[in-house]
Structure 1
Amino acid sequence: MSNVTPFPSQTAQQGARDAGQTGFERLELQRIMDLYGRMVAAGHWRDYAIDLHREAAIFSAFRRTAERPEFRIEKRPALRHRQGMWALIGEAGNVLKRGAELQGVLAPVERRLLKIVSE
């Protein structure tokens, strides 16, 4: 009961940012959230989660909250010069699309949205 944990100071928080936490830029997140909003309007997705780690930023889209994510959009800057820093990962964990541009990686999901709307 007598353990006191100090609150992280402003300098510790600045050090964490300098350590290289990966995040989404405004335009990237705007594009992802636009797609998410259209999928919600179509009745396909209901929830999302954003995980920001040192090596990756991950956006997960869920059909229902209690399930595994249907799609994960991952940004891994370390792979920028190899396979491309963007990856679209399916529910089973398989990589569906990988590339250097976010627009190309989101294309399979956007095509799926067109099929949902046209039915």
Structure 2
Amino acid sequence: MRQVPTPFPLSQRIPEETAFDRRELAAILSLYGRMVAAGEWRDYAISHLREVAVFSIFRRTAENPIYRVEKRPRLRQKQGMYAVIGPEGQVLRRGHDLPMVLRVLERRLIRSVD
């Protein structure tokens, strides 16, 4: 007699990829648009992988990203699933609320006027 394997329950399924939703992308692209208008940023790339979604920000197209905004759902219950990563890989800010995490980049837009 042949034994049929038991399928995994739907609630424990591992997603094929992690992605930003519309609200998250709106917050990121709003900041990105302001920084492009200020002449600070020039290009971006979006990667949707199994465990992380990454929005990479470039000053010039041919360079390494100057910042990365990451979404890691597995860290939701721990440190927060959103993080801003600097050019050398240092975590600049991590948290549960994306707009609060993005504020670390908004401070770079505010300059003193002479």
User: Residue 77 of structure 2 aligns to which amino acid in structure 1?
Assistant: H
TM-score, normalization: structure 2?
A: 0.84
RMSD of the TM alignment (CA)? 1.4
Between structure 1 and structure 2, the one with the greater Rg is 2
Residue 95 (structure 1) aligns with? 91
Moved over 6 A (4+): none
Separation in structure 1 between the aligned mates of residue 28 and residue 106 of structure 2, nearest angstrom: 11
Aligned residues: 101
Separation in structure 2 between the aligned mates of residue 95 and residue 70 of structure 1, nearest angstrom: 12
| % same residue | 57
From 107, 111, 119, the equivalent of 2:107 is: 111
**Higher share in helix:** 1
Structure 2: state its 5+ residue gaps. 1-12
Separation in structure 2 between the aligned mates of residue 106 and residue 73 of structure 1, nearest angstrom: 8
Is 1:63 matched up with 2:84? no
Structure 1: state its 5+ residue gaps. 1-17
Separation in structure 2 between the aligned mates of residue 36 and residue 71 of structure 1, nearest angstrom: 11
